[in-house]
Amino acid sequence: PETRILSVDEEDMKTAVSEAVALLAAGEIVAVPTETVYGLAADAFNPDAVAKVFAAKERPAFDPLIVHISSLKELAEVAELPEDIAAVVKSLAGAFWPGPLTIVLPKTDKVPDIVTSGLPTVAVRQSGSVIFRQIGKALGRPIAAPSANRFGRISPTSAGAVMKELDGRIPLIIDGGACSEGLESTIVKIESRGEQRPLIHVLRAGPVTKEDLQKFGKVVIEKKRITDQPDAPGQLESHYAPLTPLLMFEKPEDFRPEPGKRYGLLSYRGDPKAGYIDRHEWEVVEELSPGSGKLIEAAVRLFYVMRHLDEQGLDAIVAEPVSETGLGVAIMDRLRRASSPQA
């Protein structure tokens, strides 16, 4: 189909909501902004609609989707709350919803298997985006939505980026401007330990940090995600990857360029006075945090800047690591995945 972009009027979201809901209710798929990245939305209870999401993204069937609820009432429709973790799940939901935290729970029978790739669990969150929740409320059903990019590519943080990924594959993109977080949600799975504080396994680092979660249990950052199915979801190393090779260097000045090749620098330190910035005559230099926002600013800009560098026809992108505290853990996770060899 021809892909249309419809801007959200902050004062009056009615048009955007009704157009999106009309399509979703008819079993179509629509790109909708969340506070993290743009999602490709489908009625979570309609397996044919969900199949269209997998097709448009060229996503393998073994990689399950996140289900977005617009109220706590909807939580009960999609997930069970086992008694031994109910208290901590409620605390986490109270503290971080609506917001960028996804919780993996046992699924109900109402959730079609295609959504969870056959897993007995479902990943659930309530998005902080007002337009996303309005659409969910008006639809009256939970929304299954992965990031609105083709499989393995960089997640889109603007409507323009979605257009580049999915033009001609979906009927509508709701344009709500740039995403305020810029990185996909933190995904956690809770494990009860009886009398002891529960374990909070972080399956994907994100905007809700280890420091944020520590109040609620003992936090374990999983190197490989735990799933109920070995070698299934989330175990794919190369992800969020630009097409241009991305090389990570502790010190970009140590990088030895090959003559005649064009290189771009993705800089975190970003101080031109440091001297290394023009030493290699970088074709393009993009700073992750040109203002004083540091990690917060770097997170918001990361995918935007990666995508921009990817469009410059470079031989390689050289990236500088960020400090691995707070949000830096999620940023480094994405940089490492982007720089791992692509299949």
- Interaction mask 54-83, ligand TXA, x per CB under 6 A: ---------xxxx-----------------
Which residues pair with residue 193 across a beta bridge? 196
Which amino acid, residue 289?
A: S
| Separation of alpha carbons 107 and 100, rounded Å | 20
| Of the candidate residues 17, 34, 98, 330, the single one contacting ligand TXA (CB under 6 A) | 34
Burial status of residue 176 (CB atoms within 10 A of its CB: 0-12, 13-18, 19 or more): buried
Residues 6+ apart with CB under 8 A from 304: 157, 158, 161, 178, 182
Three-class SS state of 221: strand
Residue with Cβ nearer ligand TXA (39 or 328): 39
Question: Per rule CB under 6 A, is residue 103 in the interface with ligand TXA?
Answer: no
Per partner kind, with CB cut-offs from 5 to 8 A, the member of ligand TXA, Mg ion, none near residue 308 is none
Site string for ligand TXA, 276-305 (x = CB under 6 A): ------------------------------
**Min CB(309)–ligand TXA separation in Å:** 21
Place of tokens 């940023």: 331
Per CB under 5 A, 147 contacts Mg ion: yes
Q: Does 99 bind ligand TXA (CB under 6 A)?
A: no
Nearer Cβ to ligand TXA (146/198): 146
Beta bridge partners of 39: 32, 147
Return the CA Rg of the chain: 20
Q: In what order do the strands lie in the sheet with 246-248?
A: 246-248, 316-319, 263-267, 284-287
Would you count residue 186 as binding Mg ion (CB under 5 A)? no
Site for ligand TXA in 192-231 (CB under 6 A): 203, 225, 227
For binding to ligand TXA (CB under 6 A), which residues are involved?
34, 36-37, 39, 63-66, 100, 102, 104, 116, 119, 121-123, 145-147, 184-185, 187, 203, 225, 227, 233-234
